[in-house]
Structure formats: C-alpha cells, structure tokens
Structure 1
Amino acid sequence: MSSILNLGVIVRSKENKAAIASIMVAYLMCTLLSSSELQASSLGVLAVLSVFSFGANSLFKDVAALKGGLSCLMIALIVGTVFSEDVSRSAKGIYDLIRGVLLFFVGACFYRCFRRYEVTSVLLGFFSISALLGIGVAVAAAMIQGAPWLLENPVLELLFHETHLFANFIAMICLGLLVLVLVGVTSASYWIGFVCVCLFATLIALQAKGTLLALLLSGSWCFSGSHRSALRNVWYAALVLVLVSLTVLSFFPALDLITHFSLPPSLLERRRIYAELLLQLWESPFTGFGLNTYKDLVLQFGTAPHYTMPHSIYLESLFSFGFVGSAFLLAAGLLVARKACSPVSSIENQAWKFWRTFAGAALIFTAIRGLVDMRLGYGVWGSFALPLGILFASTATSMASRDIRVDSAHL
C-alpha cells in the first residue's frame, strides 16, 4: 500500500509531470507525419483534454489573441464545406482539421506549464531509444528482404503502409537529436553523432529524397540560427534555389529538351498529377471542390486510379478550397505565425531553447516535405499546429517577462 502511495507522490510531482508531458509532446511531433499506427490519435485526444485541466485560463486568452487568424480559418472551412462536391467527405476532412488545429493549444499549454523544468536528459533518452528502435526495424526489414535498399520493402509497408511514412519518423528523430547537440547537450555528443549517421544512412537506404531534402534544410536552419545573419542569408538563398528548382522541374517539362536531364520516374509521375490537377482546378478555381474529396473525384476526372493524393499539400489546398479559401487559409497561417515566430530576447534554460528550436525546425520540415508529398489530414494539420503553439507560447511568455522587467526598471 505504501509503495502505491509513493508512486502517487512521484506522478503528482511537477518534475515527473514535466518529464511525462515532454515525452508525450515529443512523441506527437515525431509521429504525426508517420503511419496511423504511430500517430496515436487517442494520445492527441488525451493531450487536448489535458489543456482544460492544466491551462483553461490561458486557453481563452489564446483564443482572444488569435481571433484574426481563427476568423480567417473559419471562412476557409466554410468555403471548403459549402461548395464541396461531397459534403459528407468534406465534413470528415473538417473534423480532421479541427482535431489537428486543437494541438496548437496543447503545445501552448505544455510550454506554459513546464517551460522552467530541465528535461533535456529525458528527451535524450526518448530520442535515443526511438532511434535505436527505428534503426533496428530498418535492419530487420533489410535482412528479411535480403537487400539493403528499403524502398517498397514489404515488411515496412506492412508496419507503416508506406515507406515514406517511416522515413518521416526517422527524420524527425534525427532532427530532435541534432537540436539537442545544438542547445548544449555535449555529454553525449559522440553518441548522438553516431546515431545520426545511422539514421541518415537509413534514409539513404529508404531512397527518401524528399525527406532527406527537408531534413537537410530544417537541420541547417537550426545551425544557421545560432550564427550571424550572413549564414542565415546563405540558408535563405539555398531555400529559394530549392523552391525555384522544384517549380521548374515540376511544371516546365519543355526545359528537359534543353537540359537533357534524365528525371526519376517519381518526378515524372508527379508532373502528370500536377498538370491534371491544375487542369481540373479551372472548373472551379475560386471555391475548389471541397476538403477531402480528391481521392473520390480523381477517377471521375480521369486520373490514374492509384493516384489517390496529389503529392503536394499546397496543390491539394487549391483543389480543396480554391483560390478564395486558400487565401483565407494562408492568411490564418501568416497571422498566427506572425505572433508565434517573433524574435525573443531571453533564453531561460536548455529545455526552453530545445523546444523553440525543435518547433521551428519541425515547421520547416513539414513545409518542405509538403511540397512534393503528403496529403491534408490530421497528421499534417497537427504537424503545423503543435509546434506553432509552442512557439506562440514561448514568444508570448518572453514578451511578458520583458514588459515586467521594463516596468520594474521604471519603478
């Protein structure tokens, strides 16, 4: 009986609550872009419910502070439902969007409640164990298949449905470990370096080119942020180069006759999908065809049956919401990001720096990854909302602390 009481004291302690919450949030951020088996939707629901028990007061303040962005989001939802070709399918899409967006408040509440607790050792353990499990699964899948290349590996497809979903999980684990080194967890730097090399090799074996590109850009953003603006300008130049290159390769096939490049089949297939989607979009350019309808309308429009997603969340947004709804959706994101991504003047501890850096890197990873893959669903919405919530709360907290210091100085 006494051991049960002692366990209750341990669980109730703030330090252990912070550790458990940190593992839960880190798990969500690493698995939202993975298969549904890893997403743990029930964990997302539990996280949302915890907001009302830990931070009900801050929840209403956040809603008031974000009323402009939320209003734009509501207009986009109305456009995506009222003008839908299949209202029932769009209702399911709206439900997934709302579930994902609620994770914004989970991230904000988590940061406000536990920002002062140093949990980097717990996070190092979580990411290390996750990395070993991921590498172990990859090695086992390669041994069963008898080949080092893991693209379309039957074992991984059985576990994760598609190998690129497994690649997203591996990349996010690698990103988390890189950020831990950046914030000063140097006691295990050699171990982290070795594990990251193994994770990177796993991504190469998966032939996940889009995932590797997103990981390189998001990881380099982390390191460029800790240096002078010249290095950050180099990063912006690299980003522009990537965006221009992808645009040219995806939408201007005539240039192949000039460059004589031999493009991979996956990119050639995407060209076909993008061309047909843009052609279909002109049938309803302003309001689109409704959220979550692409999979059902694709056969009606004559696209090949196995193309059940447009392989670009931005083109799917145009298809779903049209130019009007997408404009309001973009406005909602920009209004929230403007409040969330403002520069801060103080760094409280390693955990504070980790969560702010990891959240920013996760946003960049999702945004880049969505250029040529993924579909709009709970995982994508949540992958944008959860890190934005962390950034929003950290920015608001920093600004409030600065105002208090200024007022004290005047006194």
Structure 2
Amino acid sequence: MNMNVALIFGGRSPEHEVSIITAHQVNAALAEMYDVIPIYITKEGAWLTDDKFKELSTFTEGSLPRAADFDTVSVEFETRAKFSAIPKRGGLFSKKRELPIDVVFPAIHGVHGEDGSLQGLLELMDVPYVGAGVVGSGVGMDKIMMKAILSENGLPILPYVPFTKHDWDVVSTDILKVIEEKIIYPMFVKPAVSGSSIGVSRAKDEAELRDAIELACRYCHRVVVEQGIEEGYEINCSVIGTHTPTPSVCEQPITSTDFLSFDDKYIHENSETGSDSIDLVGSDVASGMAGAERKIPAPIPEELTLHIQNLATMAFQVLDCAGIARIDFLVSSEEQVYVNEINTIPGSFSFYLWEPVGISFAELVTQLVDLALETHKEKNRLIYSYSTNLLSQAGASFAKLKTDSPSEETE
C-alpha cells in the first residue's frame, strides 16, 4: 500500500503562481511512488482539496479555483491532530472525512509557507513534513536574520544596512546617510522577507535608491540594502540532507539584466515565436526554475567549485536547514565569493542540479520524504515532559496565602 503524501501549495504569497508550477512538478515525480493528496491554498487563504488540483489545466484554463467550488480542508485538534475535508455542499449523505496523511510535502514559496509558519502548524500537529523546520525556515526566509547568523559564523557576506518601513517613513534622510556611509553604489534593495526577486531593485544613485526602497516597503515592513558587485556573476549550489548534507553540482544562471529577475527565473522567450512563455517539460508540467537559462555545471575552476560547495554546506548547517535548499552566491571578478541568500523551498526543488549526478526528480522527492520521516522519528525520541511536584507545592502555597490573608472587615 502506497504512502499518502499531502502536497500543500499556493498560499497567501506573491509567489503563488510559482508555487503552483513547482507543486505540479513535484506531483508528477511523487506519483510514481506515492498517493498524492493535493491541498491548494487560495490567495485569500482558503484550504481546498480535490483530485482536479493534480492537473495543471485546472489553474491555467480560466480563473484560479474558488473556495465555493471545492471541498475545504480543516485542521482539527480533538482527540488528536488531523486534516479533514468538508464537502463543498451539505447534503443527506455528505459528511466530513479525515484525510489519511502520512507525510506533508510543502511546496509554497515565500511568506505563509516557506517562512516557518506552516512548519509551526505541522509541528503542533506532530506530522512529518519535508524540508527545514521552524527555525531554519524562518531565518532562511528573513534576509536580515540570515545575514546576521551567517556573519556570526564567519561566512562571507557583503556589507548591508537593515531598517524598517516605519523608520524610513520617519527618518528617511538619516537612513540614506547611514547607507551611503557604509555602502557604495551600485546597491541592491530587497524586502527582508520575499523571494523570486519580487520587490528587488538595483540602484545606481540616490534617486533610484529612494524609488527602490519605496517599492520594497510595499512587500515587507523590513528592508535590507546590500552592496552590489561590479562585473561579478552568480553561482548557485543545492544541498540535501540533515546532519551530513551533500552539495550538488554548481550552476551559473544567465541573466538578461543586472541581476537575476523574476522573468529570468520563470518567463522565457520562445525562440520560434519571439513571445514570452513558460517552457514545458515532461508530463505537460511547466518547467519553472528548471527552464531558466543556466550553465550546468558552472564554467568555473574546480578549486572555486569545491570552495562554493563547502560554503553551501556550511550555510545549510548553521541556518539549521534540513531536506533540501539552494544557496545562491555572488562571485567578484577576483573570484571572491559571498553568500547571497538561501532558499529552503527552492523553485523546482532544484532537481536540475541533481540530475547531472544521476539522481532523477522521482528519486530526489523519495529522498526528501525519507528524510522527513527520519527527522520526525528523531524529534519524537526527545523528551517533551518533566516530572515534578511543582503544582502540588504551588497549590499548598496558594492555600497558605489564602489562609494567612486578613479577611475583609464588614461594618
């Protein structure tokens, strides 16, 4: 009997559509070994389930699914935590049913899915799930916290200045002064919590810097401004595992602008028509990040490759990651390497970085499910209770306090 895997995707995130593509790639790979239960979270936050969600056409033909048209999913904590499906229409023979979930495979990019919030729910439910835990997901998503931890652990990062939208609204002139004292142009401005290059801009002067900050503030209440590199390039490396993680081959993304934009990652020009499109790969599934232009393996010296793979593994470990992640680097013309960021739920789960070493997408997701089950068992071997007579002592102390307190005088 196959194991039941709940594939959760969509979500209240600017990366909603990217998540749909990734989820359908994962579904095609999981279907070879597991029974997939798709759980789609709408942009409004409704949790829905239906076998139709396994078909990409459900999302590409017409509008996105509406809550009124599908069974909703509830999370219940009665005698035990469980997922249940509530029929879209009540009737004489319709009733709520439990979803038989053995492991959860989160495929949500960005906030409300990759940032530790979904992982926290799954921890409370005591359900095995793929990927980093609450801490790893949270710090991996938050660029400011991530950089602080990387720096504290001696990993190379570029100079940066963090601040809040509130501070920008109140003392923007002071913030600009601090930025220009610490960082030289060009600079990159990013929402502290965001992904897929959404809300990210490059600034070459103060006017562009102000505009870039205003844009970033629309996506997050915290912003980070980073030093840019002239004549540098990007190198990415994936890592899989838990205690003894393994790095993948390296890739060099090809950008059409000064940095790897959303369009570079997901929208690719059709060479025959000249129009923008999303490439299709096997099983009629959109290729997502797998379709972006890149050089694999990256055309860099072996020594530099090994250095980046070592840094990727270190970043994976110090940020408390698990399952899979993709670590993105910036390399200067002098081959100085800097950790740029980590993606704990990378686009397409970076399967294209594992294929060159003979690991298929189906084998990759199987490894991730196995790691999730192993991690869950390890957590449940920990002690979560402590025997003590604290309550009995507290009860006695409170009783004595009530006895010793003077009674109110009555006239």
Determine which structure has the larger helix proportion and give its number.
1
Determine which structure has the larger strand proportion and give its number.
2
Q: TM-score, normalised by structure 1?
A: 0.24
Structure whose CA Rg is larger: 2
